[in-house]
Structure 1
Amino acid sequence: MKAITLSVILLILCVTIFEAKDLVVGTRVNNLLISTEKVVYKGIPLIRRDKDYTYTDPKQRIIKAIIARDLSRTDAEAAVTSGGVGATNVTIHLRSARGEGLNYLILIFAKNN
């Protein structure tokens, strides 16, 4: 019984450690990757980092999907604040956990013509 309880606790711990809040909007299936950007900001002790990432497509293609992956696997959050899927531009607000930095990979897809 102790082995089962220990196994369940270990499994829950692993899931919470590797859980990140990635942003996935739209679908990348049959779409063209038009932008890849890595956004990195160092952490400041006891302070949350708030940064905005803005992308405007120079060819005016319509955005079909946005993926923002937290590479550090922290409790950072990402949210689309303007534009996005169906527009030619997007602004993503990134907010770190207290005392942590930001380390995001942002992928933007458009329709493949």
Structure 2
Amino acid sequence: MRRITSLVLFLVLCAHVCEAKDLVVGSRVNNLLISTEKVVYNKIPLIRRDKDYSYFDQKERVIKGIIARDLSRTDAEVTVTDGGVGETYVRLHLKSERGKGLNYLILIFTDNK
């Protein structure tokens, strides 16, 4: 019993260490992928990188889901600052941890019509 408890605690600790702060807003289920972009900014030692990413749909389709996946698995943060789900545009603010770069895959979904 003690070995099982130790193993479970070890697995939970590993999952927590490998956890990244991905942004998932809305839904991608039964929706059409309309944009895929990779956002990469190099690291600068001791500096935190802050960048904005904007997407405007030329066909004015309403956004139903947004996923911003941290490919580097760091403690970077992404927030929606303008638009988003229910709008035809979105502005995301990406903020790296100190001394690290940004490496995100951003996926945007709309109705499958």
TM-score > 0.5 by shorter chain:
yes
- How far apart are residue 15 of structure 1 and its match? 1.5
Aligned residues: 113
The 1:33–1:100 alpha-carbon spacing in structure 2 relative to 1, beyond 3 Å, is: same
Distance 1:29 1:68 in 2: 16
- How far apart are residue 30 of structure 1 and its match? 1.0
The residue identity in structure 1 corresponding to 2:25 is V
The residue identity in structure 2 corresponding to 1:72 is S
The residue identity in structure 2 corresponding to 1:19 is E
- How far apart are residue 18 of structure 1 and its match? 1.1
2:81 maps to 1:110: no
Distance 1:68 1:9 in 2: 29
The residue identity in structure 2 corresponding to 1:20 is A
Structure 1 length-normalised TM: 0.92
Q: Deviations over 1:77-106 (max 9, x none)?
A: 001000000000000000001100000000
Structure 1 residues not aligned, in runs of 5+:
none
Structure 2 length-normalised TM: 0.92
Distance 1:29 1:12 in 2: 28
Structure 2 residues not aligned, in runs of 5+:
none
- How far apart are residue 16 of structure 1 and its match? 2.4
- How far apart are residue 40 of structure 1 and its match? 0.4
> 1:72 matched to which residue of 2?
72
RMSD: 1.6
